[in-house]
């Protein structure tokens, strides 16, 4: 379809407020405008989308103070065909099959006053004030950080210069936490561009991203990767969040996927191994030549073993709850995907210099990551998802080569998206829940 030939309106699924579960999803017929593309965007006719925990958390209000704009079209992992390209796009053309992770959201900045960049040259902190969306800004970093008050379990050292000035000038948030750039918070409601200003905290908790449960979506070319021939839209749609999370967690422990890793590998435990992230993690760990122990429910023991796990534990048994290896070994690394596991359970199962990589931290594990930050022995580290075209391309290439697959729990037609939502909310899905357009 050439530019100008696309329909004016489209079908979509949306909800109008927090809570309500699957019953709150409304299938809307031909009332929503097809999005226009900016110069660096492509318009994708969606063929399949996958639901992630961050999508469910957004509906529950767990992403506040990062507020979606209601009515809200959920889901941020899509695969489809490009039907229009922006004027500055060079990598893609109409007709290309692609995979994309949508990454925009609206920030409610209710009463946050702008603080201009400080002249001291020090890194000043900012606090996210819960539902009120208050925040602060900073100046150019010279290596010093001052303590911040916090009223939402967040202590954000925002180091800024140029971004702070831009934020103050435009009334937008431009936070980058514990890195080298940052920003300010202004008044009113404004669009937050995560590609440009997203930081450690936003990547850690996820963010209210929008648009996937629709016939068309406009997305940045920087968040889009070509889908190799032979990979279905459904299989590809499962990759961006779950696959990237698994890959980046394993890269954090030094895993190589090109055969250059150590021949012996490491003893690795993967929790919640039958989840969307877990099913990718088990396969990737084996590709990295690790010896894998995995936990899951009793009904999925065979599936996880089939993905390559050397030992599989039923997490409901005493041994499984204690994360105790059947062979009695200690783990060099634990990739934690379940937010129910605690540092106190991990610690005795680690080898002397073992490390936990946590992609779904509860508050206790968040604290443990701080307490063990400078430990020379056992420690817990947090890994946050970062959109990487290189990493996404690697995952798709592994799929093309037949070395990696998406475990699909269920497929649902577009009109039955609420059923897919309910399945995801049940907590019993094995692998990915897919909506097909």
- Over the stretch 219-254, which tens digit does the pLDDT of each residue have? 999 999 999 999 999 999 999 999 999 999 999 999
- CATH 3.90.180.10 domain residues, the chain: 9-103+209-238+406-436
State the pLDDT at residue 133: 30
- Closest by alpha carbon to 214, among 21, 30, 20, 391? 30
* 242-382: CATH, from 3.40.50.2000, 3.40.50.720, 3.10.20.600, 2.60.40.10: 3.40.50.720
* pLDDT band, residue 119 (cuts 50/70/90): very low
pLDDT tens for residues 263-310? 568 999 999 999 999 999 999 999 999 999 999 999 999 999 999 999
Superfamily of domain 9-103+209-238+406-436: Medium-chain alcohol dehydrogenases, catalytic domain (3.90.180.10)
- Closest by alpha carbon to 268, among 276, 252, 258? 252
* pLDDT band, residue 117 (cuts 50/70/90): very low
284 in Cβ contact with 307 (< 8 Å): no
- Closest by alpha carbon to 102, among 10, 206, 179, 248? 206
Q: What is the mean pLDDT of residues 348-366?
A: 94
Token duo for residue 237: 């749609």
State the pLDDT at residue 153: 29
pLDDT tens for residues 125-175? 333 323 223 233 333 333 333 333 332 223 333 333 333 334 433 333 333
State the pLDDT at residue 250: 97
* pLDDT band, residue 262 (cuts 50/70/90): low
Q: Which residue has the higher pLDDT, 196 or 341?
A: 341
Tell me the pTM: 0.77
* pLDDT band, residue 209 (cuts 50/70/90): low
State the pLDDT at residue 201: 41
pLDDT exceeds cutoff 70 at 198: no
Neighbours of 49 (CB within 10 A): 32
pLDDT exceeds cutoff 90 at 10: yes
Q: What is the mean pLDDT of residues 399-413?
A: 98
- CATH 3.40.50.720 domain residues, the chain: 242-382
Beta bridge partners of 216: 45
Burial class (CB in 10 A: 0-12, 13-18, 19+), 250: buried
Mean pLDDT of the chain: 79
* pLDDT band, residue 177 (cuts 50/70/90): very low
- Closest by alpha carbon to 267, among 288, 243, 245? 288
């Amino acid at each position: 379809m050439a530019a100008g030939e696309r329909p004016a309106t489209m079908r979509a699924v949306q909800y109008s407020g927090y809570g309500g579960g699957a019953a709150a999803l409304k299938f809307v017929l031909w009332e929503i405008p097809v999005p226009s593309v900016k110069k660096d965007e492509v318009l994708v006719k969606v063929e399949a989308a996958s639901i992630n925990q961050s999508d469910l958390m957004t509906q529950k209000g767990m992403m506040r103070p990062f507020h979606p704009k209601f009515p809200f079209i959920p889901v941020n992992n899509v695969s489809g065909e490009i039907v229009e390209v922006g004027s500055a796009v060079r990598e893609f053309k109409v007709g290309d099959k692609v995979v994309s992770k949508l990454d925009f959201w609206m920030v409610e900045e209710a009463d946050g006053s702008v603080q201009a960049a400080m002249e001291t040259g020090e890194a000043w902190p900012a606090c996210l004030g819960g539902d009120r969306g208050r925040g602060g800004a900073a100046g150019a970093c010279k290596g010093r950080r001052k303590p911040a008050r916090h009223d939402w379990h967040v202590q954000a050292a925002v180091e800024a210069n140029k971004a702070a000035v831009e934020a103050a000038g435009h009334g937008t948030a431009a936070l980058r936490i514990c890195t080298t750039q940052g920003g300010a918070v202004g008044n009113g409601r404004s669009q937050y561009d995560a590609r440009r200003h997203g930081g450690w905290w936003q990547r850690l908790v996820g963010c209210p991203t929008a648009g996937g449960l629709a016939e068309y979506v406009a997305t940045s070319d920087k968040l889009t990767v070509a889908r190799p021939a032979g990979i279905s839209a459904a299989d590809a749609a499962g990759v961006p969040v779950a696959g990237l999370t698994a890959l980046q967690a394993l890269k954090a422990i030094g895993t190589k996927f090109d055969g250059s890793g150590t021949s012996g590998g490491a003893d690795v435990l993967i929790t919640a191994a039958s989840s969307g992230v877990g099913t990718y993690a088990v396969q990737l760990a084996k590709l990295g030549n690790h010896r894998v122990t995995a936990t899951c429910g009793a009904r999925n023991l065979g599936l996880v073993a089939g993905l390559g796990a050397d030992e599989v534990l039923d997490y409901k048994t005493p041994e499984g709850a204690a994360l105790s290896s059947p062979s009695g070994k200690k783990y060099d690394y634990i990739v934690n995907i379940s937010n129910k596991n605690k540092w106190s359970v991990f610690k005795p199962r680690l080898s002397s210099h073992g490390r936990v990589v946590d992609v779904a931290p509860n508050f206790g594990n968040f604290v443990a990551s701080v307490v063990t930050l400078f430990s020379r022995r056992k420690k817990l580290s947090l890994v946050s998802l970062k959109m990487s075209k290189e990493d996404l391309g690697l995952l798709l290439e592994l799929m093309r080569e037949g070395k990696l697959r998406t475990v699909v729990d269920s497929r649902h037609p577009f009109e039955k998206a609420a059923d897919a939502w309910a399945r995801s909310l049940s907590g019993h899905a094995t692998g990915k829940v897919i909506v097909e357009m």
